Amino acid sequence: MEMKHNIKKLGYFLLCIFVLLILYLSYLVLQQGEELATHPQNRRMAAREAGIIRGTIFDRKGVVLAETKWLGERGKRVYLTENHVSPFAHVVGYVSEKYGSAGLEASFSKELLGLTDADALENLLDKIFNRTPRGHDLVLTLDASLQRTAWQALNGRRGAVVALDPKTGAVLAMVSSPAFDSNAIDQAGVWSRLNRDEENAPLLNRSTQGAYPPGSAFKIVTGSGILARQTARPADTIQCPGYVVVDGNRIADNRAHGKVDFIKALALSCNTYFAREGLKLGWDGLVHTFNQFGLNQSPALGIPVRPGTLAVKERRNRSQLAESSFGQGDTLISPLHMALACSAIANNGVIMKPFLVKEVCKPDGKAVRVTESSIWLTATSPEVAALVKEGMIAAVNWGTASPAAIRGVDVAGKTGTAETKTDRQPNSLPHAWFVGFAPANDPKVVVAVVVEKSGSGSRVAAPIAREVMAAALFRR
């Protein structure tokens, strides 16, 4: 009797295990199936790809950025490079038999291989007629010429440049330096060397995943919150003695600015003004503004994007608030997010959804999918955006951003010099930042630049932005 009871319990146990296995497999198929099938490390996908001509990736003007060339019976992916380094490496990515894929090559793999649900009939006909399958092409929003300009302007320094059209959200340039040669990923020793280089981190896309204190470039965000919540009126003035004391902590400014109002404080980058007004704004107001500008979000761009972060709740005291208000403290933001925040000022308070892929096309050029511009967020009001823009124009005309001036063009800009000193690196130079747009009253391009540990934003980042903005305006 006892044996029957034990057998019965064992049967129930096995039945439960069997049911759990069915549920788990169902979950994998229904919920995770798509992700696992298209995962860059999926060897079945790699084996299937061997018999397909992978689609070509073009820039916005038809320049080939990646294509498949056939060597005998095998296809080899070939990427556009410059002196054995690709300025497009972090965006376009790579396809490797050993290491999978990355960038748009990974996220648009099914389209490039022609393996979407819409391609099922075409793939069946290819089998019936014994034709070699060919995937779809991608037409990107990137401008290869502008990408090269930004790459050359960085001149090998660690940093990033993002340029976009504020009216559409199209990303015109996205450069991360240093980069790598996408054609050499599978060569002996290359992968391990790239991964071992922790100081330069060439595989890191600094444009979207770099986490930097934004310094005074962040004042366009804080300033928007101050004006929107009316903690200060634009004409209200304070006296800047060159420092501010918060809870006994003396926070130094770049100099004594004397009597300043909002426009002058933004143009001359007065930390004292933004620290004092940021304290009035409060943590609730700063966090709300941060979120309104989408700095805490990751837009669906097709490549990984790190959301920006403020200090965790345990560290949100008044000193941290004062420093965070002018882009220091624990604030960390990517260049893409700063470009999007700047585009809100350029576009009357509205941030358009950023995108990198303009069209997915058949080999004959017929578009099967076109990305339409759409609003992502409303960050602030047109009135507030206009006031911040006025301060940014003043910054270029007679303030800290004057090295970004372009002859014959009104430019709006804001520099940032973000301190990076730590106990371990007390002599570390600051990150150089610039965000801006041109022409100021009819913006065609927004640019964000960061150069790691290189000095002041005015001296280092603003001239790079000037080159990129001028190229975007005059080489169309």
Instruction: Give 360-369 pLDDT, tens digit per residue.
Output: 999 888 999 9
Residues 147-179 as b or e (16 or more Cβ within 10 Å = b): bbbbbebbeeebbbbbbbbbbbbbbbbbbbbbb
pLDDT the model gives residue 42: 55
| Res. 126: pLDDT tops 90 | no
Rounded to 5°, the CA angle 3-7-11 comes to 170
Residues 6+ away with beta carbon under 8 Å from 258: 239, 240
pLDDT the model gives residue 97: 86
pLDDT the model gives residue 123: 72
pLDDT the model gives residue 44: 56
| Res. 31: pLDDT tops 70 | no
pTM here is: 0.89
Mean pLDDT of 8-14: 70
pLDDT the model gives residue 282: 96
Lowest mean pLDDT across 7-16, 42-51, 402-411: 42-51
| Res. 243: pLDDT tops 70 | yes
Q: Give the DSSP letter of residue 306.
A: P
Alpha-carbon span 59 to 169, nearest angstrom? 16
Looking at the chain, the whole-number percentage of residues with pLDDT higher than 90 is 77
Which of the residue ranges 8-22, 28-42, 58-72, 437-451 has the most confident prediction, judged by mean pLDDT? 437-451
Give the SS3 label for residue 78. Answer: strand
pLDDT the model gives residue 15: 76
pLDDT the model gives residue 464: 98
pLDDT the model gives residue 364: 87
Peptide bond into 178 cis (omega under 30): yes
CA distances from 79 to 151, 174, 388 (A): 16, 16, 41
Q: Give the DSSP letter of residue 118.
A: G
In the block, tokens 């291989």 appear at: 113
Which residue would you say has higher pLDDT here, 147 or 6? 147
pLDDT in tens, 255-307: 999 999 999 999 999 999 999 999 999 999 999 999 999 999 999 999 999 99
Plot region of 100 (φ>0 → left; ψ -120 to 50 → alpha; else → beta): left
| Res. 2: pLDDT tops 70 | no
C-beta separation of 275 from 323 below 8 A: yes
In the block, tokens 């060897």 appear at: 43
| Res. 39: pLDDT tops 60 | no
Mean pLDDT of 13-37: 68
Which residue would you say has higher pLDDT here, 40 or 270? 270
Mean pLDDT of 394-414: 97
Lowest mean pLDDT across 50-59, 150-159, 218-227, 327-336: 50-59
Alpha-carbon span 265 to 146, nearest angstrom? 33
| Res. 406: pLDDT tops 60 | yes
Structure tokens at 65: 């950025």
C-beta separation of 395 from 262 below 8 A: no
| Res. 388: pLDDT tops 90 | yes
**Surface-to-core class of residue 388, CB atoms within 10 Å of its CB (0-12 exposed, 13-18 middle, 19+ buried):** buried
Q: Give the DSSP letter of residue 158.
A: S
pLDDT in tens, 66-96: 999 887 767 789 999 988 899 999 999 999 9
Residues 6+ away with beta carbon under 8 Å from 274: 219, 222, 223, 226, 265, 325, 326
DSSP-assigned letters across all residues of 244-288: EEETTEEEE-SS--EEE-HHHHHHHT-HHHHHHHHHHHHHHHHHH
Helix, strand, coil percentages, rounded to 5, for the chain: 40, 20, 35
What band does 180 get if pLDDT is binned at 50, 70 and 90? very high
Q: What is the mean pLDDT of the chain?
A: 91
Structure tokens at 211: 């986490």
> Which domains occur in the chain, in start order?
53-127+134-140 (3.90.1310.10), 211-357+374-474 (3.40.710.10)
| Res. 32: pLDDT tops 60 | no
Lowest mean pLDDT across 375-379, 410-414, 420-424, 435-439: 420-424
| Res. 425: pLDDT tops 90 | no
Alpha-carbon span 268 to 287, nearest angstrom? 25
Mean pLDDT of 389-403: 98
**How many CB atoms sit inside 10 A of residue 194's CB?**
18
pLDDT the model gives residue 176: 98
Query: What is the number of alpha carbons within 13 Å of residue 394 lying toward its C-beta?
Result: 15
pLDDT in tens, 46-56: 555 667 889 99
Alpha-carbon span 17 to 441, nearest angstrom? 67
